Amino acid sequence: MTQGKSTNKDAYTLILEAIDTGLYRPGDRLVESELADRLGVSRTPVREALQRLETQSLLARDGRSLIVASLDHNQMAELYVVRAELEGLAAKLAAKHATPEEKRVLQDMVDEDRKIVNDPNALARANRRFHKQIHLASHNRFLVQQLDLLHRSMALMATTSLAAEGRGMVAMQEHQNIVDAIVAGDQEGAFEALRQHISVAFMTRLKLDAKTHL
C-alpha cells in the first residue's frame, strides 16, 4: 500500500512539473496511456493523478478528454489579487522571522539571477525559486501551503511576464527592494515591496496579452 501511494505521488508530481515547466501547455490534451509510458509507471497512478489535478482545476474536460486548463481574464485578475496579498504577507513574516542564513540565500539568489536577465525561461524558473524561498522564510506552514496551491494555478498561464522586453532587469531591482526590506526587518516595507512587484507583473502580463489579441 505504501509503495502504491508513493508511486501515485510521483506521477502527480511529475505531471505537475511538466505543466509548470511548459512541457504541457494550456489546451494540451493529456492521454493516460501516453503519460504512463513517459513516466514509466502503470496507468492506475496516472489515472489517480489526473483525477486529483482535475479536482484542483488544473485540468479541464474537453468532451471525453482531459486538457490542461487555462485562465480567462477574470480568473487571472482574481488570481493576482489573492497572490499580491498572500505574497506580501509572506514577505512581511519573512522580515520578522527569517534567519540570517535565509536572508543571505535570498541576496545570493538576486545576485545570481542578474546574470540571466535576458533569458526569460531561465529567469522564470529562478523567479519561482526566489518566491518559494520567501514563502519558506515566513515560517508559516499554512501560508506556504496556500501559496503552493496558488503557484500551481500560475502554471496555467501560457507565457511568463518576464518575457516582456526589459522586464527582467526591472524585476531584479524589485527583488532587490524586497530583500533589502526583509534583511532590514522592515515588515511593512517588505509587504509593500512584494505587493508592488506582483502588481507590476500583472500589468506587464495584461500588456503582453493585449498584444497577442491584436
Tell me the pLDDT tens digit for each residue of 92-112: 999 999 999 999 999 999 999
**Most confident option among 16-20, 60-64, 132-136:** 132-136
Q: How many CA atoms lie within 13 A of 49 on its CB side?
A: 29
Position 212 scores a pLDDT of 61
Report pLDDT digits (tens) over 1-57: 333 444 445 788 888 888 877 788 888 999 999 998 988 888 999 999 999 999 988
Query: How far apart, in whole angstroms, are the C-alpha atoms of residue 29 and residue 149?
Result: 22
Query: Residue 50 is placed in which grid cell?
Result: 489526473
Sheet of strand 65-68, all strands in order from the earlier edge strand to the far edge: 29-30, 65-68, 59-62
Higher pLDDT pick, 57 / 179: 179
Please identify which residue in the block is written with the cell numbers 500551481: 152
Q: Which of 58, 4, 66, 60 is nearest to 29 (CA)?
A: 66
Q: Taking all residues of the chain, what is their mean pLDDT, rounded to a whole number?
A: 88
The answer to whether residues 31 and 43 touch, using CB atoms and an 8 Å cutoff, is no
pLDDT surpasses 80 at 151: yes
For the chain, domains (ranges, CATH) are: 2-68 (1.10.10.10), 73-212 (1.20.120.530)
Arithmetic mean of pLDDT, 75-82: 91
State residue 206's pLDDT score: 84
Cα torsion 86, 164, 112, 16: sign: positive
- State residue 103's pLDDT score: 98
Torsion of CA 16, 18, 24, 30, to 10 degrees: -60
